[in-house]
Each structure stands twice: as structure tokens, then as C-alpha cells.
Amino acid sequence: MAHDAAKHDAAKYLADIGSHARIGSMPDIARTTVSLRITGDMLDPEEITLLLGIEPTRCTCKGDVRRIASGRDVIAQVGSWVLSTDTPDGLDAGIGALLGKLPHDPAVWRDLNERFRCDMFCGLFMQDSKEGAELQPQVLSMLVDRGLRPGLDIYRCPD
């Protein structure tokens, strides 16, 4: 039931921020991708899936062999559990939508942060050098409540 309330809070928040313009006149980033990343030597992806109640986009155990984009096989140095989303709706909406799928229970996040490295990867793909993004205080609070540090990678999309 608390999980449903957290989903409702996230949906309400997304509706509230949907039409708010950023300060200034820069256009929004062309495309964003957001990923909750949980990593650690002793990470068991099935345990994380049970704790969070959702299947990951991808996961590995330490020592697993996986094929990377170049086609080369690599051995995972740590275990990982990743939940990702691409969003045309902006950084705030992407983070809010992703966190809205997950439990808000502080005990769950405290446990995860004590045992693993947890962060929110944010990929920002720009088509123009004048694009920008902001994180609203409510989104920052959602990250802080879960002990998640945002990591921003900024890319220029090829012409």
C-alpha cells in the first residue's frame, strides 16, 4: 500500500511540473536517458529484483561474461542491477517516472546503500550547444531520500 502511495505521489509531482518552464530561454536537452545503477561485489540481481519489486533492464553477477556494444566479450568486475528509461520529456520527468516505479520505503534504500553503490546515471544528449536542463528541488529531494547521487554525462548528438 505504501508503494502505491509513492507511485501516486510521483504521478502527482510529474503532473505538477509538466508545464513549468525553466528559468531562462534555453531549449530543453534533446533526449535524456536515466538509469538507477546498483553495483557491488556481492550483488545478487535476484535479491535486488525482489527488494524493489521490478525486473531490471539489465543485470550481471560478478564474473559473468557479457557481450558489449563493440561485440567483444568482457568479464563483469562487479555485480550490477540497472533499471533504465529513455525520455523525451526531460530530466526531471525521467527521474520522477523511474523512481515512481520503485518503493519509497527508507529502510529498503538504507539497506541497499549500506551494501552496494547506488546512483542515478543521467545521460543528456544535446543537438545544440544552447540546450540546458535543471533538476527541480522536488526531484533532488526524491534522490536524497533514497541516498542516490546523480551522475550527469553530457553528449553532443551527431549531425
Question: Looking at residue 26, what is its pLDDT?
Answer: 60
Question: Looking at residue 28, what is its pLDDT?
Answer: 74
pLDDT classification of 159: cutoffs 50, 70, 90: low
Residue type, 12: K
Asked whether residue 94 carries a pLDDT value surpassing 70, the answer given is yes
Mean pLDDT of the chain: 83
Tell whether pTM > 0.85. no
For 61-112, list the strands marked E by DSSP.
Answer: 65-67, 73-75, 79-87
CA distances 69 to 72, 73, 74, 142, Å, are: 7, 9, 11, 32
Can you say whether the dihedral through the CA atoms of 79, 114, 92, 125 is positive or negative? Answer: negative
Asked whether residue 48 carries a pLDDT value surpassing 90, the answer given is yes
pLDDT classification of 22: cutoffs 50, 70, 90: very low
Question: Looking at residue 144, what is its pLDDT?
Answer: 95
Domain boundaries, the chain: 2-18+28-156
Residue 21, exposed/middle/buried by CB under 10 A (0-12, 13-18, 19+)?
Answer: exposed
Per-position b or e across 127-145, b if 16+ CB within 10 A of its CB:
eeeebbbeebeebeebbee
Question: Looking at residue 153, what is its pLDDT?
Answer: 73
Each residue's pLDDT tens digit, 98-143: 999 999 999 999 999 999 999 999 887 777 777 777 788 999 999 9
Asked whether residue 10 carries a pLDDT value surpassing 60, the answer given is no
